[in-house]
Amino acid sequence: MADTYVPVTFVADELLTSTKMNLLGANQAGFHSGEAMGDGIIVTRHLSNATKVMVLPSVTGSVTAPESADSTNDFKCPIPSDYVDGTAITVKYMRNASNATGVVNQRGSVFNLRNGVSSSVLADSVGLDFTASGAFVRDIATIYTTGTDEFDIGDVIFVRIARDTADTSSASVDYDAVWIEYTGSV
Partner 1 sequence: MAREIKKIKQDPNDLTAMAEYYGNQFSEVYFVRDILADVIIAVECAPFQPGLSAPVERANGQRRNIFGYQELLLTTRFRTDTNDEGQRMVGYESASGNDTRLAKVEIGEVPITNGNVIAAGGSVRTLSPFERSQLQSTVRLKQAQMKARADYERYTDSAGRLVERFETFEIVRMK
Residues of the shown chain interacting with partner 1 in the complex, contacts defined by CB under 8 A: 6-20, 22-23
Cα 48–chain centre separation:
15
CA distances from 13 to 5, 10, 19, 22 (A): 24, 9, 17, 19
Q: How far is the CB of 8 from partner 1 (least distance, A)?
A: 6
By beta-carbon proximity to partner 1, the closer residue of 22 and 51 is 22
Q: How far is the CB of 47 from partner 1 (least distance, A)?
A: 25
By beta-carbon proximity to partner 1, the closer residue of 20 and 168 is 20
Residues 172 and 6: their CA atoms lie apart, in Å, by: 68
By beta-carbon proximity to partner 1, the closer residue of 20 and 117 is 20
Sign of the dihedral defined by the CA atoms of residues 172, 62, 138, 65, in that order: positive
Residues 181 and 186: their CA atoms lie apart, in Å, by: 14
Q: How far is the CB of 21 from partner 1 (least distance, A)?
A: 10
Q: How far is the CB of 18 from partner 1 (least distance, A)?
A: 8
Task: Look up residue 162 and give its DSSP letter.
Answer: E
Whether 96 and 133 have beta carbons less than 8 Å apart is answered as no
By beta-carbon proximity to partner 1, the closer residue of 15 and 41 is 15
